[in-house]
Amino acid sequence: MEMEIPGGANESARMSRTLYEFNGGVHPDEHKQVSTSRAIGIAPLPKQIIVPLSQHIGQAAKPLVGVGDQVLKGQRIGQAEGYVSVSVHAPTSGTVTAIAEHTVAHPSGLSDLCVHIAPDGADQWITHAALDYRNMAPSHLRNLLRDMGIAGLGGAVFPSFIKLNPGAAQKVPTLILNGGECEPWISCDDMLMRERAGEILQGAAIMRFMLNSDEVLVGVEDNKPEAIAALRAAAGDCGFPVEIVAVPTIYPGGGAKQLIKVLTDKEVPSGGRSTDIGVATFNVGTAYALHRAVHHGEPLISRIVTVTGNVHRPQNFEVLIGTPVAELVRLAGAVKDDTSGYLMGGPMMGITLASTDVPVVKATNCILAQSPALFPPTPPAMPCIRCTRCAQACPADLQPQELFWFARAKNFGKTQEYKLFDCIECGCCSYVCPSHIPLVQYYRYAKSEIWAREKDKKAADHARDRHEFRQQRIEREKQERAEKLAQRVSTKPATVDSDSPEDAAATAKKAAIQAAIERAKAKKDSVTPKNITDLPPEKLQEIAEIEARRAKIREIAQQPVDE
């Protein structure tokens, strides 16, 4: 089982690996050096910790603690609910002060259920120990990882235990660690790779074991030479063959689909998963978290966060999940006076923070303070001149100018024909648009409208089914009554056989109705629209979020009427 290829062969493979290109991409200013001059700092215990129960794609965790409970560091405070979900944990020891709604990092500034913890300062761990992962039933190991809250730290926060299931094939041949980190400003993965390369590869070893992979690749953009050197040094004695591949620096080269294309020339099928083509990708941070979980028994309660932009001392910090953003900003020497706002994530795909009260979550890779100088306002939009710079920049090979045209015209059918749902919202199109059209916003709008319509349609179908069922029931009850009546009548002598032809006719009619309903149902099932069937859990989550947003808007819209 542990047959290793000698290092020499591995070395030559590294030299000869052919890299491929994806279409488009852009080269925004990197701004990464500003936060890489200082080593990763350990953030001190915050005064208050707010742990959202929904930090991952999928269903929120179910709270396991009550107000007033004493919790220990690493104690599970929220239990995974449903299949796509992971647990959440107390990042330090203390007292649960509330289980209440709190503003979270969300595009619309929504609130979510959070466990509020007042740290006691002791930072006392629960009893925890390394897992003997090689001698465990794979499903048991995966369940343990779910219960330790391991989820993708690259941004999507997809539960890792699901991705670590090799499936029916019992094997995912290619394992890719994503150290691309293509977004400007962010350097948390870079610093993690520089300082903890060995631990990352130990995490990769566990992944490789669980997925039974043949090859392990680590893709790092070539603007991180220190990280590449650290990984290569660690690769020498990690005990399994691994290739550290420097990939060209081009945004969004760190997107999973793009990195897979660059390293393997394979494309993740539309609407499918990378495992469909025998590839599994994990962020390097996730590999590190997996290492901590398996070799130290520590659940996911902290991560590296880049605090940068318009702050005095940009730096990366190892931060407890649940730490308010305001505390982090203070650690980075506070913001400069002209700060105009905060982003969570990078400038290409990040979201605006409603306030600095929001807590750091598993998805938080970067806190970016904005200023008018660093982020000049976009000039007013001009008409599209169909110059197709967007199409030339689109890493999904879409024709953004056509999508824009149809989305603006609310011709949503056409947007789907032009593969709207293959858009990864990377922002390249908006970035290069000489007319400064907020293209991605149009696509988000079109997607949410399509989902909403689909939901309405489902609701209408459901209502119609209920109506048909009710009609059928009424008909059946009428018939039963008639039959009973007939029986009662037939028990009386002399009135035999008179209504039996009618009975036969009614039965035939009933059968015909039933057949028609079934035909209609089959037809309906076969014409469900393209692109929105078999959605992966990320999409479902996205839909759920958009629904929540819409519900909120509706609520807000109704308020004045109610009062």
Partner 1 sequence: MQTSPYIAEQTSVSIIMLKVLAALVPAIAAYVWLFGPAILVTLTLASITALALEAAAVRLRGWPIKPFLLDGSALVTAWLLALSLPPIAPWWLIVLGTFFAIIVAKHLYGGLGNNLFNPAMVGYAVLIISFPVQMTQWSAPLSLAGAHLDLWQAAQYIFTHTLPDGISLDAISSATPLDTLRTQLQLEHTVREITQLPIFGSIGGSGSEIVVLLFLLGGIYLWLARIITWHIPVAFMAGLWLTGGLFHITDPDRYISPWFHLATGGVMLGAFFIATDPVTGATTPRGKLIFGAGIGVLTYLIRTVGGYPDGVAFAVLLMNIAVPLIDAYTQPKVYGHKKKDAET
Specify the amino acid at residue 245: V
Question: Can you tell me which of 33, 139, 270, 528 binds partner 1, judged by CB under 8 A?
Answer: 270
Give every CB contact of residue 43 below 8 A, 6+ residues apart in sequence.
Answer: 317, 318, 319, 320, 323, 327, 328, 331
372 binds partner 1 (CB under 8 A): no
User: Pattern of binders to partner 1 over 404-433, x per CB under 8 A?
Assistant: --------------xx--x--x-x--xxxx
Q: How many CB atoms lie within 10 A of CB 35?
A: 25
Residue 178 forms beta bridges with which residues? Answer: 219, 283
261 binds partner 1 (CB under 8 A): yes
Q: How many CB atoms lie within 10 A of CB 487?
A: 9
Kindly identify the residues of this chain, within the stretch 223-252, that bind partner 1 according to CB under 8 A: none
Total residues at interface with partner 1 (CB under 8 A): 61
| Closest to partner 1 by CB, 201 or 307 | 307
Burial class (CB in 10 A: 0-12, 13-18, 19+), 466: exposed
Kindly identify the residues of this chain, within the stretch 433-472, that bind partner 1 according to CB under 8 A: 433-436, 438, 440-441, 444
- Residue 102 Cβ, how far from partner 1 at the closest point, in Å? 20
Specify the stretch interacting with partner 1 by CB under 8 A; choose among 41-49, 113-121, 188-196, 391-399: 391-399
Burial class (CB in 10 A: 0-12, 13-18, 19+), 480: exposed
545 binds partner 1 (CB under 8 A): no
Give every CB contact of residue 313 below 8 A, 6+ residues apart in sequence.
Answer: 38, 332, 333
Of 138, 144, 169, nearest in space to 159 by CA: 144
DSSP state of 360: P
Kindly identify the residues of this chain, within the stretch 296-325, that bind partner 1 according to CB under 8 A: none
93 binds partner 1 (CB under 8 A): no
367 binds partner 1 (CB under 8 A): no
- Asked if 175 and 219 touch (Cβ cutoff 8 Å), the reply is no
Give the DSSP letter string of 87-114: -EE-SSSEEEEEEEEEE-S-TT--EEEE
- Residue 72 Cβ, how far from partner 1 at the closest point, in Å? 38
399 binds partner 1 (CB under 8 A): yes
Q: What is the spatial distance between Cα 439 and Cα 390, in angstroms, rounded to a whole number? A: 9
Question: Can you tell me which of 6, 383, 501, 560 binds partner 1, judged by CB under 8 A?
Answer: 383
Tokens of 508: 């035939």
Question: Can you tell me which of 123, 267, 357, 468 binds partner 1, judged by CB under 8 A?
Answer: 267
396 binds partner 1 (CB under 8 A): yes
Q: Where on the chain is the footprint of partner 1 (CB under 8 A)?
A: 22-23, 26, 28, 107, 184, 257, 261, 266-272, 277, 343, 345, 347-352, 370, 375, 378-380, 382-388, 391-392, 395-399, 401-402, 418-419, 422, 425, 427, 430-436, 438, 440-441, 444
